[in-house]
Amino acid sequence: MALIHDATLSPSKAELLATWVPRQRWASGLTGDVALLGAYRFDDPEGEVGIEGHLVRLGGVVLHAPLTYRGAPLAGAEASLVTEMHHSVLGTRYVYDGCADVAFLRMLAVMALTGVGQAAQVVLAGSVVETAAPSVRLDGSGRADDWIQIAPFGTPADTEDGAATSVTTGDSTLRVVRRPAVSLDAVVRTGGMFVAAAWAGQAEHLVLAELR
């Protein structure tokens, strides 16, 4: 369950994405304003890290921008720090590129291996608690009753064309798609493990990650 506080953020998520996304290698050559399409969340099993994947559009291209939100700096990830954010309820939050944070990578791999993991969203406003439908719907391969073990992750590396970020985990490679454009059907036919997403205006699931 992802608990969403009715809080003021500075900078806002829209502001940080508008500043950060165009500077990334996977957004190279794209111009214009960053438009928010939706977001999905994962639960952190330890309850410490906010894990959120954003889908945005820039220059007519859909981009996948996963972020994590931490209450303290992540050791060794200084180069992947997006910004420091003030949260009116939680205080200072350190925002990182999700592809450099094991908290995101682990839950993305779990989703690919089991087909489950997207967090239910609960909005807390004072004493009022409400559920909220996610703006991005995930679909993952695997089976929920499969026993899995996630091996340690290596160092993330962008592909040469910048369209994805790949990281090893044991004998497998988790490929996080930065420019989603491949339909779910195309990956299913290859027998690969995947995470795919759909959102308003995008009824056909597009692949966000592959595990091979």
The tens digit of pLDDT for each residue in 31-62 reads: 999 999 999 999 898 889 999 999 999 999 99
Please give the Cα distance from 129 to 5 (Å, whole number).
Answer: 10
> DSSP character for 76?
T
Number of domains, the chain: 1
pTM of the model: 0.90
Give 14: exposed, middle or buried? Use CB within 10 Å, 0-12, 13-18, 19+.
middle
Tokens of 13: 């998520």
Q: Which residues neighbour 15 within 8 Å (Cβ) at sequence distance 6 or greater?
A: none
- Can you spell out the DSSP letters for 169-186? ETTEEEEEESS--SBHHH
At 132-181, the pLDDT tens digits run 678 999 999 977 676 678 889 999 998 877 899 999 999 999 999 999 99
Which two structure tokens, joined as six digits, stand for 173? 């490679």
**Phi, then psi, of 178 in degrees rounded to 5:** -90, -30
Domain span at residue 12? 2-211
